[in-house]
Structure 1
């Protein structure tokens, strides 16, 4: 259960203000089809995070446990620092828009998640909680949906009301704690 709650919390907070959340906002404003957009986000996230988690499990099985512990801790510390850098929306003009709300969301979200903070976090969390792979994927997906569904449902009306420096600070703190606990308790 720790893997599920940690993964959900880490990704939900890390996603706030992230480029994929900004993409969800753009898609919501463009299409006004929240169910199709949410379904596209869900499918893209499950596939992307399952692949990212698989890489994390592979890293865990490939590396010596002591090396892995230090690598994970260092990666969590880097993620903590990275969280302090806010994302900006990418160019919103896309040829994928003509594919409709579901396919455009699925493709754009999947591509935008590649190398994104939340995808890297999923890889690290899966390596940390290797025996709970599916709980990590479920948690990161739940966190992604928890952060993006309100944006999709509210469209552009609620954006800008959350103090982003607090969100980034809390995200950084979570990854800092993950790094410390990874060093403190062996895998």
Structure 2
């Protein structure tokens, strides 16, 4: 259960203000069809995070546990610093819009999530909770949906009301705590 709750909490906070959440806002405004957009986000996230988690499991099996602990802790600390750098939306790629809301959302979300903070967090969390791989994938996917569902349903109306510097600070603290707990938690 720790893997599920930690993954959900870390990713739902980290996703706020992330480029994929901004993409969800753009898609919601563009298509005005929430159900296929939500389905596209969900499917892209499950596949992307399962692949990212697989990399984390591979790393955990490949590296000596002492080195892995230091690598993970350092990576969590780096994520804490990275969280303080706000994302900007990528240039819109209108060629995918003609494919409809579901396919456009699936493709754009999958591509946008490659190398994104939440994908890297998924890799790290899967390496940390290697025995709970599917709980990590479920948690990171749930975290993405918690953050992106309101963006799709509400659209751009409430986006300016969230103090992003607080969100980024809280996210940084979460990853800092994960780094510290990785160093001191018995494996």
TM-score bracket, shorter-length normalisation: over 0.9
2:101 maps to which residue?
101
* C-alpha RMSD over aligned residues: 0.6
> What is the alpha-carbon distance in structure 2 between the residues aligned to residue 37 and residue 53 of structure 1?
24
Superimposed CA distance per residue, residues 18-73 of structure 1 (whole angstroms, 9 cap, x where no aligned partner)? 00000000000000000000000000000000000000000000000000000000
How many residues matched? 187
Within 5 A, what are the aligned runs for 1:16-95? 16-95=16-95
2:124 maps to which residue?
124
> What is the alpha-carbon distance in structure 2 between the residues aligned to residue 114 and residue 67 of structure 1?
25
> What is the alpha-carbon distance in structure 1 between the residues aligned to residue 157 and residue 79 of structure 2?
30
Superimposed CA distance per residue, residues 98-130 of structure 1 (whole angstroms, 9 cap, x where no aligned partner)? 100000000000000000000000000000000
Runs of 4+ in 1 over 2 A off after TM superposition: none
SS at 2:161 equivalent? coil
Q: TM-score, normalised by structure 1?
A: 0.99
> What is the alpha-carbon distance in structure 2 between the residues aligned to residue 85 and residue 178 of structure 1?
19
Does the CA contact (< 8 Å) of 1:69 and 1:186 recur in 2? no
Q: TM-score, normalised by structure 2?
A: 0.99
